[in-house]
Amino acid sequence: MGNGRQRSPRFMLRLVGIILVAVALLITFYAAVAYAAWQRGQTLRSERARTQLQEEMVQQMSLARSDIEAGNYALAERRLEWVLQRDPNYPGAQTLYEQARSRSQQLLTPQAPPSSPTPPPTPIPTPTAAAPEGQVDPGQELARLRQLLADERWEESVTAVAAFQLRFPDYERPETDRLLYQANIGYGLKLLYTPQVELGLFYLAQAARLGDLPEEVADQQFWGELYLLAAGFYGVDWNAAVFYFRDLCLAAPFFQNACQRLHAALVAHGDMYAALEDWCPAVERYREAQQQQATTAVRQKLDEAFINCQNATPTPEPGDDGDNGDNDSMDDGAEGEP
């Protein structure tokens, strides 16, 4: 009897110890399974991101071919530069780029008149503002304006054609309107790919007052407007900035480093959520940023946010449908954010 009473507490302690060890092993096992499943999910997402990138590159190649056929060589070059930046050995990209560049250079090379083997004459110098009107030959001045446009000296062309129309309002007006239209388009498109996007849109709007914009020009005008919207929300409303940069990245990834700016906005939005310890939305932003451009820094942020999100999310009790419905609504809302 005495020995039985002495062994009973020891037996209970051993039993409790065995149960605790078993529970710890089960927790470790399920944690390992959950982590392995999460890693598998990350791998699948990375593969999906690579697939999306390949699809986008295929699309840009197809659009570049269409641009070359339509004579839009500059736009084709930009598309192909974007492809080559991501894969210098992409099949056919380098050849197509050289083709677009060669045709573009041919357009820029002045051609001698067929009846004369001599090169074209040197452009006539700009008349001084002080020269009397009677000493200016409008025909020669118009020839100079044509040469300015042929040389793609867009900024000079805009100013010079406008000045010509003020001085000779009735001289070859249909042609000077056409020259001004082309100059505004050329200068506007040039500015769109610089920090002066807003000024570029201004000149395109001036061109639109003289005639309908070609489709490829209207597309680039839309990209500029989309970029200004995204940039206006940058640092003020990350959700809106991400929304507009995402659209721009899908439509024209080569325009104003749209995809890099999307990546930066996603990380900044995730950082904002992390600072508020709102970890689950931070996971979504870091995950999309990592799919957009994989980096070690974002990987670490994503891992930290994921762990904190898992710890912060309560485990629903069996049969608790109300909690499950709330969680589903939260997840759906996170996925549906712009």
**Would residue 225 count as lying in a domain?**
no
**Would residue 321 count as lying in a domain?**
no
With 70 as the cut, is the pLDDT of residue 320 above it?
no
Half-sphere exposure at residue 14, Cβ-oriented, CA atoms within 13 angstroms: 5
User: pLDDT band for position 247 (50/70/90)?
Assistant: very high
**Would residue 220 count as lying in a domain?**
no
Asked if 123 contacts 147 with a C-beta cutoff of 8 angstroms, the reply is: yes
Final residue of a structural domain among 213, 238, 264: 213
**Would residue 61 count as lying in a domain?**
yes
pLDDT at 69: 76
Alpha carbon distances (Å) from 273 to 264, 277, 284: 14, 6, 10
Do 247 and 338 reside in the same domain of the chain? yes
Close Cβ partners of 220 (under 8 Å, ≥ 6 residues apart):
75, 189, 192, 252, 255
Do 187 and 279 reside in the same domain of the chain? no
Do 208 and 235 reside in the same domain of the chain? no
Do 87 and 25 reside in the same domain of the chain? yes
**Would residue 326 count as lying in a domain?**
no
The string of DSSP codes covering 73-96 is HHHHHHHHHHHHHH-TT-TTHHHH
Helices and strands (DSSP H and E) totals, the chain: 13, 0
Final residue of a structural domain among 89, 106, 123: 106
Report which of residues 73 and 206 the model is more confident about: 206
pLDDT at 90: 84
Comparing CA positions, the residue from 237, 239, 215, 258 lying closest to residue 336 is 239
Q: Which 8-state DSSP code applies to residue 255?
A: G
Report which of residues 326 and 15 the model is more confident about: 15
Structure tokens at 235: 């640092």
pLDDT tens for each residue of 276-303 = 999 999 999 999 999 988 899 999 999 9
Do 50 and 77 reside in the same domain of the chain? yes
Close Cβ partners of 291 (under 8 Å, ≥ 6 residues apart):
45, 46, 48, 49
Mean pLDDT, the chain, rounded, equals: 78
Q: What is the pTM of this model?
A: 0.59
Do 267 and 294 reside in the same domain of the chain? yes
Q: Which of 12-16, 34-38, 163-167, 293-297 has the lowest mean pLDDT?
A: 34-38
Do 253 and 338 reside in the same domain of the chain? yes
Alpha carbon distances (Å) from 145 to 67, 94, 131: 27, 35, 18
Do 18 and 97 reside in the same domain of the chain? yes
Coil vs helix vs strand at 121: coil
**Would residue 325 count as lying in a domain?**
no
**Domain boundaries, position 157:** 137-213
Coil vs helix vs strand at 120: coil
**Would residue 188 count as lying in a domain?**
yes
Comparing CA positions, the residue from 310, 282, 309 lying closest to residue 298 is 282
Do 208 and 234 reside in the same domain of the chain? no
User: pLDDT band for position 116 (50/70/90)?
Assistant: very low
pLDDT tens for each residue of 128-142 = 444 454 567 899 999
CATH, residue 294: 1.25.40
pLDDT at 59: 72
Domains in the chain, number: 3
Angle (CA) 183 185 187, round 5°: 65
Do 192 and 246 reside in the same domain of the chain? no
**Would residue 113 count as lying in a domain?**
no
Q: Determine the average pLDDT of the residues in 94-122.
A: 56
Do 23 and 78 reside in the same domain of the chain? yes
